[in-house]
Structure 1
Amino acid sequence: MIRPAQPTDAEAVVPLIIQAMGTLANKLTNSDDVEVINEIFKHFFQQRGNQYSYENTLVFEDEGKVLGSINAYDGSKLPELRQPFLAYLAEHHQANNTNQGTETQSGEFYLDTISVNPKTQGKGIGKQLIKAGIDWAKQLGHHHIGLLVEQNNDRALKLYQNMGFAIQNEKEFMGGLYHHMVFTTNC
């Protein structure tokens, strides 16, 4: 079952967000300490009004266990959603990452992180989460749904292409090269 996330889902969802981000989590938090990274994302997941908030997250739950998550938001709101994160890092972790670039843009609903527990991958959970993200975007009136996929991640690229996403352009973000992919709705 896919449902909106709650603050109490932090223990299950935060590792999924970090898994999806890979080394970007380290770059964004300016830390290589797994506990620090986890603490930062847990703090923000449980808060409102930021890009990693529970309110911007759907979870896939089966028999009371969260097995996957998708984090998404209106791309035009990224600067205001990211601001609390950057301010917190500057205040509590002496990190000054204000020039990170942007992974999304106005005019698209951005699928930021999509992640499935490694023990349950390959069972269609990711596809269900992506479909739920597309439906969520449509409900909010968006016609373009965007995401980034690392250029060397052929498996994810193929999945997104099979689900109707097309490469719009190439994007450099925080030192990595990505395909910026877009799904356009018919409504």
Structure 2
Amino acid sequence: MIRPATSQDASAVAPLLVLAMGHIAGIFAKSDQYEDAVPFFEAFFERDDNQYSYAHTLVYEENNTVLGSVTGYDGARLAELRQPVLDRLRESDPDFTPGDETEAGEFYMDCVNVRTDHQGNGIGKKLILAFCEKARQLGFKRVGLIVDKVNPDAKKLYEKLGFYVAGEKDFLGHRYFHMVREVQ
């Protein structure tokens, strides 16, 4: 079942955030071992004031086990929701300034992933569709996301779910497709 996340889901969702973020998690952890970012994401997930919060996350759960998650928010709130994360990152790198990966007018899907031992079973698709439905219920007309150009399988999945390429963005050292889907 898909349900809103709670702060108690932190230990299950943080590794999924790291998996979804890939090289960005490594940047945040200042490590080539992306899993070093798990404590970082656990701490922010437990709070309600940032872009990686449980408050902005849906989880897919079976038998009381979280198997996947999707995190996203109003793109117009990016600066506000990113600020606590930036404050933490700037403690060790005062000049850290990522570009904006989203924009006003879209409900932004920041991170979606499924535990590696449950991928290929349609869980990701269910989470994406639930996220799009949440956006529609909140009155958004469009869901947006970025997908790394080196991940053509993800791009194909999003296209099958009705997303199309609306442009390209450079973000933290990679080039991404900016994809959108109309939801109303």
Same fold (TM over 0.5): yes
How far 1:35 sits from its partner (Å)?
A: 6.2
Confirm or deny that 1:46 pairs with 2:46. Answer: yes
Runs of 4 or more, structure 1, over 6 Å off, are: none
Confirm or deny that 1:9 pairs with 2:9. Answer: yes
Cα distance in 2 for residues equivalent to 1:16 and 1:67: 9
Confirm or deny that 1:89 pairs with 2:89. Answer: yes
Q: CA RMSD in A?
A: 1.4
When structure 1 is superposed on structure 2, of 132-141 and 23-32 the one drifting more is 23-32
Q: TM-score scaled by structure 2? A: 0.95
Counterpart contact for 1:86–1:96, Cα < 8 Å: no
SS of the residue corresponding to residue 169 of structure 1 reads strand
SS of the residue corresponding to residue 51 of structure 2 reads coil
Counterpart contact for 1:167–1:179, Cα < 8 Å: yes
Confirm or deny that 1:138 pairs with 2:129. Answer: no
Cα distance in 2 for residues equivalent to 1:143 and 1:90: 34
When structure 1 is superposed on structure 2, of 1-10 and 94-103 the one drifting more is 94-103
How far 1:90 sits from its partner (Å)?
A: 2.7
Counterpart contact for 1:86–1:97, Cα < 8 Å: no
- Compared CA separation, residues 165 and 144, structure 1 to 2 (3 A): same
Counterpart contact for 2:3–2:60, Cα < 8 Å: yes
Counterpart contact for 1:30–1:95, Cα < 8 Å: no
How far 1:106 sits from its partner (Å)?
A: 0.6
How far 1:32 sits from its partner (Å)?
A: 4.1
How far 1:39 sits from its partner (Å)?
A: 1.4
Counterpart selection for 2:174 from 176, 180, 183: 176
How far 1:89 sits from its partner (Å)?
A: 2.5
What does residue range 1-187 of structure 1 map to in structure 2 within 5 Å?
Answer: 1-32=1-32, 36-91=36-91, 94-185=92-183, 187=184
Cα distance in 2 for residues equivalent to 1:181 and 1:9: 28
Q: TM-score scaled by structure 1? A: 0.94
Cα distance in 2 for residues equivalent to 1:18 and 1:157: 19
Cα distance in 1 for residues equivalent to 2:145 and 2:46: 23
Structure 1: gaps spanning 5 or more residues: none
Structure 2: gaps spanning 5 or more residues: none
SS of the residue corresponding to residue 179 of structure 1 reads strand
How far 1:97 sits from its partner (Å)?
A: 5.0
SS of the residue corresponding to residue 149 of structure 1 reads strand
Cα distance in 1 for residues equivalent to 2:51 and 2:32: 21
Cα distance in 2 for residues equivalent to 1:58 and 1:46: 14
Counterpart contact for 2:166–2:178, Cα < 8 Å: yes
